[in-house]
Amino acid sequence: MIYTEVKYMPERSKTYLGSPSIVRLDDGTLIAAHDYFFKEVDGFDDGILRLTSVYRSEDNGVTWVNCAQLIGAFWSTLFKHQGDLYLIGCDRRYGSIVIRRSVNGGYTWTYPSDGTHGLLFQGGVAAEPPNYHCAPTPVLVHEGRIYRAYEDNVTALWPSGFEAFVISADIDADLLDANSWTMSEKLPFDPSRVPSDWGETGPGFLEGNMVAGPDGQVWNILRMSTEPHSDYAAMVRVSQDGTSVSFDYEKDIIRLPGGTHKFTIRRDEKTGLYFTLGNHNTVPGSASQRNVVSLSVSKNLRDWKVAKTVIEDESGLSEEDSIRLTGFQYVDWQFDGEDIIALVRTAWRGSVRFHDSNRITYHVIKGFRQICEKSGVLNQLSSEVPVEIEAVYS
């Protein structure tokens, strides 16, 4: 496995590295971010504002310099908008929705002190909703609006207590002003509509990806925890104005490689194809497996094929120990010319378990379009949007 280590955290610290996000600025500088997590206390809100570290690389990812520490930033996504750099997420675990802006390449940032400076939606106190949740998933700019997916954990049940929703704003609005943003209605998950053996508490909506379909329809495509089964995702339809969401249990549950875990979907403007990097399940019965990352492709967002496994464990561990100890997870990535650049939450070589990541690593996937062409999967993909999804529960 070829990678560059952005950050390493000794296992004895019992502090772990999460929520990787990456973007390339117009001047070629790479910006990376991640946060920190630890063994959580019971309940929704531990009362602790979380920390995110920001890094710059001016030599194309060979070396990285920590340029900023942001208190009150968690589960956040980096994105560029109208010449500025932004970071959007929560301020703590199940906290408030916040956004920050940097106008100097990530060195300094605004602070979300109130509704005119980036505090977009106030979270509840302790277990009192709203308990906002998200992950570093894509920000979508589409037909004059900017969209970001969130969830509200309204009960103590994970993940069935999560209700999916979207926030959006006009692309020319002041993104730090809470009045610029619209929150959609919230969509609960109905576990009675899916097989009873999908998860101990039933599946739910988690860590959504905002993406526009081939016909321009806006979708929030979400992770589904369906253990002991793997690789399912949910497609939630979003209205163009960002106010309403809907979900068809018969048509909008799809098979998606890596859908059991957090994934990132982006559309390649050159080919019109959709790509994702995720933890495709390769060991039947091991739904928690995160020791491989696969590049998958689709023409219509519904029909997906694995093109190639691009990251895998080369430590020499047995299959059982590798699944238990190794995780290449929460991959955030961007198209970068003919390549894909990726930042990975990595548990490897010394990690206490696959979930408790001790590294943030930077990877380059060379020639992603050629990978798909050589794999032959493009000829197997449908470009039509099917009316029915066949045998979705098989």
pLDDT of residue 380: 92
Tell me what percent of the residues of the chain surpass a pLDDT of 70.
Answer: 96
Task: Look at strands 304-312 and 292-298 and give their pairing.
Answer: antiparallel
Q: What is the pTM of this model?
A: 0.95
Query: In angstroms, how far is the first alpha carbon of the chain from the final one?
Result: 34
pLDDT surpasses 60 at 394: no
Whether the CB-CB separation of 76 and 86 falls below 8 Å is answered with no
Per DSSP, 116 falls in state T
pLDDT of residue 199: 79
How do the residues of the chain divide into helix, strand and coil, expressed in percent and rounded to 5?
A: 5, 40, 50
Cα 252 to Cα 85: distance, rounded to the nearest angstrom = 34
Count of residues for the chain?
394
Confidence band, pLDDT 50/70/90 cuts, at residue 387? very low
pLDDT of residue 43: 53
pLDDT of residue 392: 40
Cα 90 to Cα 96: distance, rounded to the nearest angstrom = 5
Is 259 exposed, middle or buried (CB count within 10 Å of its CB: 0-12, 13-18, 19+)?
A: buried
Which residues are CB-contacts of 239 (< 8 A; sequence separation ≥ 6)?
184, 218, 245
Q: pLDDT tens-digit profile of 126-143?
A: 778 899 999 999 999 999
Q: pLDDT tens-digit profile of 36-91?
A: 999 876 555 567 899 999 999 999 999 999 999 999 999 999 999 999 999 999 99
pLDDT surpasses 80 at 192: yes
Contacts made by residues 345-349, CB under 8 angstroms, sequence distance 24+: 345/17, 345/18, 345/19, 345/20, 345/34, 346/3, 347/290, 348/313, 348/315, 349/315
Q: Which amino acid is at 210?
A: M
* β-strand partners of 220: 210, 236
* Mean local confidence (pLDDT), 260-283: 97
Check whether the bond before 136 is cis (ω within 30° of 0): no
The distance from CA 241 to its chain's CA centroid, rounded to whole angstroms, is 23
pLDDT of residue 58: 98
Query: Average per-residue pLDDT in the chain?
Result: 93
pLDDT of residue 41: 63
Q: Alpha carbon of 306 to those of 95, 115, 343, 371: distances in Å?
A: 36, 43, 20, 11
Cα 48 to Cα 191: distance, rounded to the nearest angstrom = 32
Residue with the two structure tokens 């730090």? 176
Confidence band, pLDDT 50/70/90 cuts, at residue 156? low
Phi, psi of 128 (to 5 degrees): -75, 120
* Mean local confidence (pLDDT), 160-172: 95
Instruction: Give the chain's radius of gyration (CA, Å).
Output: 19
